[in-house]
Homo-oligomer: A and B are copies of this chain.
Amino acid sequence: MITHEQCCYWDEEDELKHLKDEFVLPEGVVYLDGNSLGARPKKSLAYAQHIIQQQWGEDLINSWNKADWWGLPTRLGDKVGQLIGANAGETIISDSTTLNLFKVLSAAVKIQAEKYPDRKVIVAEKEVFPTDIYIIEGFIDLINQGYRIELINGADDLAEVLASEVAVVVLSHVNYRTGYLYDMTDINRQIHATNALVIWDLCHSVGAVAMDLNQSESDFAIGCTYKYLNGGPGSPALLWVNAKHTEKFWQPLSGWWGHKKPFDMAQHYQPADSIRRYLCGTQPIISMSLIECGLDIFLKTSMQKIRAKSLKLTDLFIALVHQECAEFGFELITPLDHHDRGSHVSYRHAHGYEIIQALIARGVIGDYREPEVLRFGVTPLYLGFEDIWQAVQQLKAIMLHNEWKNESYLVRAAVT
């Protein structure tokens, strides 16, 4: 039997508890949606003021040099790199995850086409966040060279599908709905054994799960900075390429930021001799700069400590729902095994949408994903054990009093 007292004790003992002070959260809220939009780092406000008043307003175009706006994609890329097992110079921040997938997919397909021209299959998961599928479809349709997408149920199907015709596999490190976490090293080995290449979508793992892209011998990776990394709404995305692939090919979104000598205004494209060739056009400097406030908090601790706390918190969430809410029909769809679990916990319930609305009305912010999934994101940097206790107590109260049976909760918001 887990008690409130026990949760408070764990908070006292928590060696990351001081990091909560780096964030601003609304009064009385338990925020379990950091896997959708990360909370705001305190420093972001003063930093935005500095960028707007000093860099933009006073220094104007001189900020391209003075504030090194031009260097932001690689400078911030290297900070993210420290969280994902990248070496310096292997990671950029730029554009969106979807666009970055188009870039690395193009590169991966080109690399494969040269060695294995008959491989025409791109594998992705049915249950991946669908923008990955959409961009693969757009790519295949555009190039019109006989490629096709094959959708699998999950990595368990890989053995079956990985025949000689697979060129590239796109996988989500942590599934956005179930929270299922893949073993990168094992899966890379399996994919490479058949000479296919892998692209990892890190949206739901970067900043929440420890990983090592180089040690695991990954090929390409992309991911969000506005979820666990707390970069701000829609902040630009990360892109990582294994150094052995970086300079092999142009990526086709070849804008002037990726040029070898961008200020020569040369009449033909020549890609930079570095990861900068994965840049395209001018970046949104304010949204990009603010990512640093979130990253600097991560650099005060380690991904190992963050991961350890994340597992304790998700363990607690699962245990408390089992203890307090067993009678209400929540079906856990997140793995119990630590080896397979990311940093969010999801349940299926026929009234998931209304229950999430009722929870939000009580100040517990989770979210809902079709079909019937209640999703609770656990961000170790600003969540404590007592927060989890409160969240489950509110859930129990809602279920006991049928609070979710409220007509207003049946009205779906435009954006869910």
Interface of A with B (CB < 8 Å)? 24-26, 31, 33, 36-37, 39-40, 44-45, 48-49, 52-53, 55-58, 60-65, 69-70, 95-99, 102, 106, 126, 129-131, 133-135, 137-139, 141-145, 151, 224, 226, 232-237, 250-259, 263-269, 280-288, 290, 360, 365, 367, 369-370, 413-416
**Of residues A26, A60, A63, A267, which shows the largest number of chain B Cβ atoms within 10 Å of its Cβ?**
A60
Some 14 contacts from A to B, beta carbons below 8 A apart, are: A24-B53, A26-B60, A37-B56, A37-B60, A45-B57, A56-B232, A61-B365, A62-B360, A69-B233, A96-B280, A138-B254, A139-B252, A143-B143, A151-B267
CB distance from A94 to the nearest CB of B (A): 10
The answer to whether B259 and A134 touch across the interface, beta carbons within 8 angstroms, is yes
The answer to whether A138 and B269 touch across the interface, beta carbons within 8 angstroms, is yes
The answer to whether B280 and A99 touch across the interface, beta carbons within 8 angstroms, is yes
A285's nearest neighbour on chain B, judged by CB, is B233
**Which residue in B62, B141, B286 is a CB contact (below 8 Å) of A48?**
B286
Cα of A237 to Cα of B255 in the assembled complex, Å: 14
The answer to whether B269 and A137 touch across the interface, beta carbons within 8 angstroms, is yes
CB distance from A133 to the nearest CB of B (A): 6
The answer to whether B52 and A268 touch across the interface, beta carbons within 8 angstroms, is no
**Which residue in B60, B144, B235, B263 is a CB contact (below 8 Å) of A365?**
B60
Cα of A287 to Cα of B234 in the assembled complex, Å: 9
The answer to whether B415 and A70 touch across the interface, beta carbons within 8 angstroms, is yes
**Which residue in B137, B236, B252, B365 is a CB contact (below 8 Å) of A254?**
B137
The answer to whether A250 and B143 touch across the interface, beta carbons within 8 angstroms, is no
The answer to whether B48 and A253 touch across the interface, beta carbons within 8 angstroms, is no
CB-CB under 8 A for A133 and B269, given A232-B286, A365-B60? yes
CB-CB under 8 A for A415 and B65, given A48-B52, A142-B142? yes
The answer to whether A45 and B49 touch across the interface, beta carbons within 8 angstroms, is yes
